[in-house]
Structure 1
Amino acid sequence: MADNAIFIGLAENGERQWLELSRANRHGLIAGATGTGKTVTLQGLAESFSAAGVPVFVADVKGDLSGIAMSGSPTFKHADKLESRARELGMDDYAYSDNPAIFWDLYGEQGHPIRTTVSEMGPLLLSRLLDLNETQEGVLDVAFHFADEQGLMLLDLDDLQAMLAHTADNASMLSTKYGNVTKPSVGAIQRSLLSLRSQGGDQFFGEPALEIDDFLVVDENGRGFINVLAADKLMRSPKLYATFLLWLLSELFESLPEVGDPDKPKLVFFFDEAHLLFDDAPRALADKIEQVVRLIRSKGVGVFFVTQNPIDIPEEVAGQLGNRVQHALRAFTPRDQRAIRAAAETFRINPALDVETAITELRVGEALVSTLMEDGAPSIVQRTLVKPPRSRLGPVSDKERAIIRSVSPVDGKYDTAVDRESAEEVLLAKAADAAATAEEVAEKGREEVAKRPRKTTSVWEKAGKAAAGAAASSAAAVIAGKITGKSSRANPTKTAATAAAGTIATSLGGAVVGRFVRNLIGGLMR
């Protein structure tokens, strides 16, 4: 590996093909028919990024990428082919090696669980996940605003279910304020939630929520950790898979600071089976995808889409993919033929190469390669033998996976779910309070019960009481200072604000405060 580039392979004309690290955040495409070598190319690129100190995220959709955590070996299957390819490419320094890896799994079975809160996901992505129509999406949006107004935290699907029931109970009042909110629409959303639960989606929502910084870790040798998401089971719910990865991209975009074009990416994100992201996506969601892909490069994140057919990627997104590795395509159908023509037209012309013909003739492990050069211009497309990976081809054993998981830098951080007081508990308490009040009214009369203090208090009411108390104390200190002649620096207004913020932080939990408040304010922008 060069200091500022990673080796991809050897071109037919003898030129070595490189991917400039400073241009890796300009995104890329790995495409090709089944069995043409896409996964091996992905594995080789991922381990090269890791060696350069760049953390990587990959989705293991077939269950065979976990071997990237283990060193290859002459005794393993395909070792002779890997070594032969290395000799053919003149890789004199070729040697088997492992890579630092963290295993993740939405279901918590093959890796550390990944969770987010319902509030963080937001109504737009949830509507996509639940396959809601426009009317139902509007009702879900109202439920989010209603929760915000009442200071109710939406952490898991139980919270959302309780909030939807609360929305239905207040449909008349909400319709006056926000427009038509009907119980049938709420019921349709609740049925979609049941369907999501049956797919295991409820395990994705809750706490502890993922902290993005845990994807940006390097080991003691300066190698970037490769974050491997076990997605073979997740792929049975393709909409959950696609929505989860889009959420993850959105979180990276929202959380990371602007860095422009760094010398190397802060993270490289491989999105396998990328066509699932765009299948049946409504216009609003498609616009969000295009916006995130276009802007996230300034955060130092490179996104590589991996798909069988390059025409699966919309033009608005495909136009931003400057680094391309095109494996073989087969011209069996008219659609296949259109894909071949479209792929050929995206490359910078090489007068010595008939690209359209070459795409159908490429061997396994061979690809047409064009990358962005140091000056930002695309290189001339070359027919290239792709380098072999140094790590194991194929999955790790259950014992190996358990060992790797036990020594990961996030061991124990996410493995146990936490269920704090949130919307479900607060609404249940309010319902119990209301039932008790109704019982007392029947027994003692309304006037007598009206004198009784409320039993439940929202986060914001608690904060208001804390602020009022702090302001009163501060004002008293000022007055006392004037009487005794000692000045007080306390500012009642600032003290009240600090007390309110502290109360909210205590109620919501320190790690969640930033994300909750951000979503509270930014939810309107989703």
Structure 2
Amino acid sequence: MTQDIFIGGGGADYAVPQYLNLAYANRHGLIAGATGTGKTVTLQILAESFSARGVPVFLSDVKGDLSGLAHSGSADHKLHDAFTSRAEKIGFADYAYSAFPVTFWDLYGEQGHPVRTTVSEMGPLLLSRLLDLSEAQEGILNIAFRVADEDGLPLLDLKDLQALLVWIGENAGDLALRYGNVSAASVGTIQRRLLVLENQGAAELFGEPALALEDMMRCDADGRGMINILASDKLMGAPKLYATFLLWLLSELFEELPEVGNPDKPKLVFFFDEAHLLFEDAPKALVDKVEQVARLIRSKGVGVFFVTQNPGDVPDDVLGQLGNRVQHALRAFTANDQRELRKAADTYRPNPAFDTAEAIRDVGTGEAVTSMLERKGNPGIVERTLIRPPSSQLGPIDAAARAALMEASPMSGKYDTRLDRESAFEILRARAEKAAAEAAEAEAGAAAEQPSGDADTPSLREFNKARRYAGKGVTRSTSREEDKSWSREIGGAVGSVFIKELKGTTGRRIVRGILGGLFKGR
């Protein structure tokens, strides 16, 4: 089997066959086009082809259609005749039905194996994006991560971060001397945003066991690359959570994988579907970092394909990194649509045989305007291409088949049971309880040293108790010790001790990468 991936074309009407050179697949790509023009099928045939050549794939299934990759296509399918006719027309002599190795993943653990990361691993930059924080609020979140990193407080799940924020709010004055002003209002806003995040189901994302990247970069016994499918139909109800998770996964690949230069084929191909969600309302600083990751991650052997409706959804600096392009039809109903169409056409190397803008507007379903990197990495001349048919099942598999594949997967049982080891929540609570016990012991010792007095003179302790108002209608204790919750104990009792500890911990500072995730080293 040739290492080049056959995209389509060929035959009398499509004179030039289009191939994706596997050695240039880590130069990234774009799959664009209006709804219903064939983007999903293009993604499916690319995933099949990479898998067949031993390249693992990660993709998100936003409509539930791509689970069919796990089952072979069939002659009983209603489009069988159309598929075989198209294969013959474009000269696809090797066309045959086949299933491919698939692992299903799901943030909610319903349609796939649970996939998690820790709060510490995600880092403050991506979490701030997820929470839609202001610059001042992001600054406080950075303080929280700095305190956790320097004092060895593992932030594994959301309750760890919530507990640390309680402590920071109660010790804002002491922290201001070291890190700058800490606003109680901003701390409260972050806490409310975390509550909203919990209501969206994000609590399932944060925790342990965290995803090990090597589990997504496997091949089966026949040497075919594993196709990792993230169930995203439910996840799309929280679009920022969806985009932030995929961006975190991309940053983890960038930080963890070693440099490989220019490999003969990618180590992994990553499809970022609904890519507009990544850049929508994103601050320029984040977009700049995404562009930096896209530019550098190819040296790690990772190819990234952005899938979106319009090339204009992708910032120019990122779009310029995408060398392999499949452009399905764009509709041009308004003046703005016309401008976007012309802008998209201008990004291709022109073909004197036709007008690129007209071709992008006129291609039918299953057709596309394509340009693939040629030898030496130069963009190929744009061509009209009839996309090859898929070998796997078109459309989803049923729930029973999915469950059977999950049960037989090597990942079965590895991530299913959530772990809850000691982390920031437990550590801070234990410190608060210890400090409160020591304070009570000291108070008892001080009381014992006071003179007992004669029978007619009450002790100092009794005198203090007598001063408390105890009128009718008071239904709660006015004692601060009795009224405290554990969260306020975290803030008050252990505060000064903790501040002193921080002053000697800078040598243990954790290193973070471009997008703020933990840099684990290699």
* TM-score, reference length from structure 1: 0.85
Measure the CA separation in 1 of the matches of 2:78 and 2:288.
44
Measure the CA separation in 1 of the matches of 2:351 and 2:92.
26
1:520 to 2:510 alignment: yes
Q: Deviation per CA, 1:89-114, whole angstroms, max 9, x where unpaired? A: 22232211000010000111000111
Structure 2 equivalent of residue 192 of structure 1: 193
- Once structures 1 and 2 are overlaid, which stretch shifts more, 8-17 or 321-330? 8-17
Structure 2 equivalent of residue 350 of structure 1: 351
Structure 1 equivalent of residue 477 of structure 2: none
Measure the CA separation in 1 of the matches of 2:207 and 2:47.
30
- The answer to whether the Cα contact below 8 Å between 1:122 and 1:523 also exists between their aligned partners in 2 is no
Which structure: greater helix fraction? 1
- Per the TM alignment, residue 523 of structure 1 is displaced from its structure 2 partner at its CA by 6.2
Structure 2 equivalent of residue 69 of structure 1: 70
SS in 2 for 1:358: helix
- The answer to whether the Cα contact below 8 Å between 2:255 and 2:513 also exists between their aligned partners in 1 is no
- Per the TM alignment, residue 398 of structure 1 is displaced from its structure 2 partner at its CA by 0.8
Structure 2 equivalent of residue 424 of structure 1: 425
SS in 2 for 1:428: helix
- Per the TM alignment, residue 10 of structure 1 is displaced from its structure 2 partner at its CA by 1.1
5 Å matches for 1:259-298? 259-298=260-299
Structure 1 equivalent of residue 55 of structure 2: 54
- Per the TM alignment, residue 429 of structure 1 is displaced from its structure 2 partner at its CA by 1.1
What is the letter of the counterpart of residue 425 of structure 2? E
What is the letter of the counterpart of residue 414 of structure 2? K
Paired residue total: 465
SS in 2 for 1:445: helix
Measure the CA separation in 2 of the matches of 1:151 and 1:293.
32
Relative to structure 1, is the Cα distance of residues 64 and 350 closer, same or farther in structure 2, using a 3 angstrom cutoff? same
Relative to structure 1, is the Cα distance of residues 382 and 136 closer, same or farther in structure 2, using a 3 angstrom cutoff? same
Relative to structure 1, is the Cα distance of residues 356 and 523 closer, same or farther in structure 2, using a 3 angstrom cutoff? closer
Structure 1 equivalent of residue 16 of structure 2: 15
What is the letter of the counterpart of residue 443 of structure 2? A
Q: Deviation per CA, 1:288-337, whole angstroms, max 9, x where unpaired? A: 11111110000000000000011000000000100000000110122221
- Per the TM alignment, residue 442 of structure 1 is displaced from its structure 2 partner at its CA by 2.9
Structure 1 equivalent of residue 481 of structure 2: none
Structure 1 equivalent of residue 384 of structure 2: 383
Structure 1 equivalent of residue 460 of structure 2: none
SS in 1 for 2:307: strand
What is the letter of the counterpart of residue 510 of structure 2? L
- The answer to whether the Cα contact below 8 Å between 1:53 and 1:224 also exists between their aligned partners in 2 is yes
5 Å matches for 1:397-436? 397-436=398-437
- Per the TM alignment, residue 76 of structure 1 is displaced from its structure 2 partner at its CA by 2.7
Measure the CA separation in 1 of the matches of 2:347 and 2:514.
37
- The answer to whether the Cα contact below 8 Å between 2:289 and 2:514 also exists between their aligned partners in 1 is no
Q: Deviation per CA, 1:191-241, whole angstroms, max 9, x where unpaired? A: 000000000011100100111111110011110000000000000000000
- Per the TM alignment, residue 78 of structure 1 is displaced from its structure 2 partner at its CA by 2.5
Measure the CA separation in 1 of the matches of 2:36 and 2:432.
58
Relative to structure 1, is the Cα distance of residues 524 and 304 closer, same or farther in structure 2, using a 3 angstrom cutoff? closer
- The answer to whether the Cα contact below 8 Å between 1:22 and 1:374 also exists between their aligned partners in 2 is no
Structure 2 equivalent of residue 394 of structure 1: 395
- The answer to whether the Cα contact below 8 Å between 2:72 and 2:392 also exists between their aligned partners in 1 is yes
- Per the TM alignment, residue 447 of structure 1 is displaced from its structure 2 partner at its CA by 11
Mark the runs of 5 or more structure 2 residues left unpaired by the alignment: 450-492, 517-522
| Structure possessing the higher radius of gyration over alpha carbons | 2
- Per the TM alignment, residue 434 of structure 1 is displaced from its structure 2 partner at its CA by 2.5
Measure the CA separation in 1 of the matches of 2:409 and 2:447.
60
1:139 to 2:126 alignment: no
What is the letter of the counterpart of residue 129 of structure 2? R
1:78 to 2:79 alignment: yes
- Per the TM alignment, residue 415 of structure 1 is displaced from its structure 2 partner at its CA by 1.1
Cα RMSD over matched residues? Answer: 2.2
Structure 1 equivalent of residue 453 of structure 2: none
Structure 2 equivalent of residue 119 of structure 1: 120
Structure 1 equivalent of residue 224 of structure 2: 223
- Per the TM alignment, residue 149 of structure 1 is displaced from its structure 2 partner at its CA by 2.6
5 Å matches for 1:125-524? 125-445=126-446, 520-522=510-512
Q: Deviation per CA, 1:111-168, whole angstroms, max 9, x where unpaired? A: 0111111111010000000000000000000011111232211110010000100111
What is the letter of the counterpart of residue 522 of structure 1? R
SS in 2 for 1:294: helix
What is the letter of the counterpart of residue 85 of structure 2? S
Measure the CA separation in 1 of the matches of 2:200 and 2:339.
36
SS in 2 for 1:306: strand
Relative to structure 1, is the Cα distance of residues 109 and 147 closer, same or farther in structure 2, using a 3 angstrom cutoff? same
- Per the TM alignment, residue 340 of structure 1 is displaced from its structure 2 partner at its CA by 0.9
Q: Deviation per CA, 1:45-93, whole angstroms, max 9, x where unpaired? A: 1100000100000100011111111111112343332222222222232
Structure 2 equivalent of residue 102 of structure 1: 103
Measure the CA separation in 2 of the matches of 1:143 and 1:388.
51
SS in 2 for 1:367: strand
Measure the CA separation in 1 of the matches of 2:356 and 2:170.
63
Relative to structure 1, is the Cα distance of residues 171 and 216 closer, same or farther in structure 2, using a 3 angstrom cutoff? same
- Once structures 1 and 2 are overlaid, which stretch shifts more, 221-230 or 88-97? 88-97
What is the letter of the counterpart of residue 273 of structure 1? E
SS in 1 for 2:98: coil
What is the letter of the counterpart of residue 83 of structure 1? T
Measure the CA separation in 1 of the matches of 2:315 and 2:262.
24
What is the letter of the counterpart of residue 373 of structure 2? L
Measure the CA separation in 2 of the matches of 1:126 and 1:236.
18
SS in 2 for 1:521: coil
The 4+ residue runs of structure 1 with deviation greater than 6 A are: none
- Once structures 1 and 2 are overlaid, which stretch shifts more, 427-436 or 229-238? 427-436
Structure 2 equivalent of residue 41 of structure 1: 42
Identity within the alignment, %: 64
- The answer to whether the Cα contact below 8 Å between 1:33 and 1:327 also exists between their aligned partners in 2 is yes
Relative to structure 1, is the Cα distance of residues 425 and 92 closer, same or farther in structure 2, using a 3 angstrom cutoff? same
Structure 2 equivalent of residue 6 of structure 1: 5
Q: Deviation per CA, 1:162-200, whole angstroms, max 9, x where unpaired? A: 010011111001111111101111100000000000000
Measure the CA separation in 2 of the matches of 1:525 and 1:447.
57
Measure the CA separation in 2 of the matches of 1:331 and 1:269.
30
Q: Deviation per CA, 1:466-509, whole angstroms, max 9, x where unpaired? A: xxxxxxxxxxxxxxxxxxxxxxxxxxxxxxxxxxxxxxxxxxxx
Measure the CA separation in 2 of the matches of 1:446 and 1:213.
61
Measure the CA separation in 2 of the matches of 1:447 and 1:314.
72
Measure the CA separation in 1 of the matches of 2:514 and 2:296.
19
Relative to structure 1, is the Cα distance of residues 8 and 447 closer, same or farther in structure 2, using a 3 angstrom cutoff? farther
Relative to structure 1, is the Cα distance of residues 266 and 141 closer, same or farther in structure 2, using a 3 angstrom cutoff? same
SS in 2 for 1:8: strand
Measure the CA separation in 2 of the matches of 1:230 and 1:44.
18
Relative to structure 1, is the Cα distance of residues 446 and 238 closer, same or farther in structure 2, using a 3 angstrom cutoff? farther
- The answer to whether the Cα contact below 8 Å between 2:61 and 2:230 also exists between their aligned partners in 1 is yes
* TM-score, reference length from structure 2: 0.86
